[in-house]
Structure 1
Amino acid sequence: MDITWLGHSCFRLHDADMVVMTDPYPPSIGLRVDNRPASIVTVSNAHPNHDHTTGIEGDPKIFSNPGEYEFNGVTARGVMTPLPDGQPLSERNVAFTISMGGINICHLGDISVPLPTRLIDELKPVDVVLVPAGAHCTLDMEQVFQVLQDLDGKIAIPMHYKTDGLNAEVDPIDNFVRRMGLEDVQAQPRLVVTPTSLGTDMRVVVMTSQGRPR
């Protein structure tokens, strides 16, 4: 699987002739990226910064609800994460575990409340975790650390944090880097993952956003 971060919560996952796009964002977010077709689009929540499916080329399948999905050999499991007290159901968040190319990759969306054991079990097994690292409306850094431990993935990739040009209320990655004990971070423009390259211990991979400031 070839993983590219397009900025905010949007990733491009590519394996063979299948492309999965997660949480596509609109131009108003302040980033631009070359339009590319997708086979599948996952949407974690209805916020405009996560739900700009009209900006995707082709005729992709849209996965936006809890449940089980399959399309052309790619499977996905959507699990609704707990809502904060008083938050309406219309503002729900759905985490997805996507299976393609022998890799299980979990996109946590705008998760804001820690996952109970029951939901952890529904999302597992997980190889790669895409986790929000910019706080504000999502988990704080202690909760991020805990969910990574609970999901027991081999690779953690931060998302949903401040980058150049991004018009969203999120923090820079600094607090995440400190909590994870990272030193001399070298961001990568893309990551290729295979079942044999996962390793045995969790590692953090910081990626370079391919979304360019407008």
Structure 2
Amino acid sequence: MEITWLGHSCFQLRGKNAILITDPCSPQSQPTAPAALSKINASIVTVSHDHPGHNAVQSVGGHPRVVRSPGEYEISDVLITGVAAYHDTKRGQDYGRNTIYIIHMDDLVICHLGDLGHSLQEEQLEEVADADVLLLPISGDHTINATQAAEIISQVEPRVVIPMHYTPNAEATSHPLRTFCKEMGIEIVDPQPKFVVTRNTLPAEMQVILLAARQ
């Protein structure tokens, strides 16, 4: 599987039989959004919540099947489980609901937390516990912050962690990525354009992968 970050919470998961886009964002809603989502012919699109910056389904080419809510789905040999969560710590009173997606694709389990705004509850943790790759927000801007993200990682214990929902420029000392890397006890390294992984190449110990947002 090839994982590419398209900015904000948007990823392209390119598998053997399907291409899946998470939380498509448009350039009008996010300055880091790619200008050419329409050139990607996706099979599936997942939308964690119906807010601008996450729901630009019309920007994706290929007439994909769209998953917008909790439940179980099977599309193009991809199994998807949507788990109900919230965009804030007040059970959605401030920003509404959020859906966590667990994606079984190419013998891997990818978990996209969307704009999760709170710590994982026991029932949610049970659903995401088998994640090989965890895609999680770190900004603290209407989502969990870097410290909360590190706590969730310690609960889930994935093999690969890819942070999202932050601006790529990490020069400021208070930047979420710097805080996140400090919490994880790692150095900031140059981001890579994509991450290619299979069941056989998963790292033996948990690894944080920093991706460059593709434009």
TM-score by length of structure 1 reads 0.90
* 2:79 alignment counterpart: 75
Q: Which moved more, 1:2-11 or 1:143-152?
A: 143-152
* 2:147 alignment counterpart: 142
> Contact 1:77–1:123 (CA<8 Å) still a contact in 2?
no
CA distance in structure 2 between the aligned counterparts of 1:179 and 1:84, rounded to whole angstroms: 21
Q: Deviations over 1:27-83 (max 9, x none)?
A: 211233332110000000111100000101111111110010101210011001145
* 1:109 alignment counterpart: 114
The Cα RMSD (Å) is 1.7
Q: CA shift at 1:140, angstroms?
A: 2.1
What is the letter of the counterpart of residue 77 of structure 1?
Answer: T
Unpaired segments ≥5 residues, structure 1: 165-170
Note the 1:192-203 alignment, pairs <5 A. 192-203=196-207
The match for 2:35 among 33, 36, 40 is: 33
Q: Which moved more, 1:33-42 or 1:126-135?
A: 33-42
User: 3-state DSSP class of the match of 2:21?
Assistant: strand
The match for 1:125 among 124, 127, 130 is: 130
CA distance in structure 2 between the aligned counterparts of 1:184 and 1:109, rounded to whole angstroms: 23
* 2:162 alignment counterpart: 157
Query: Is the aligned partner of 1:55 residue 2:59?
Result: yes
TM-score by length of structure 2 reads 0.90
Query: Is the aligned partner of 1:14 residue 2:10?
Result: no
Q: Deviations over 1:75-132 (max 9, x none)?
A: 0110011452263498200010101111100000000110112111022310000010
Unpaired segments ≥5 residues, structure 2: 170-174
> Contact 1:41–1:62 (CA<8 Å) still a contact in 2?
yes
For this pair of structures, how many residues does the alignment match? 205
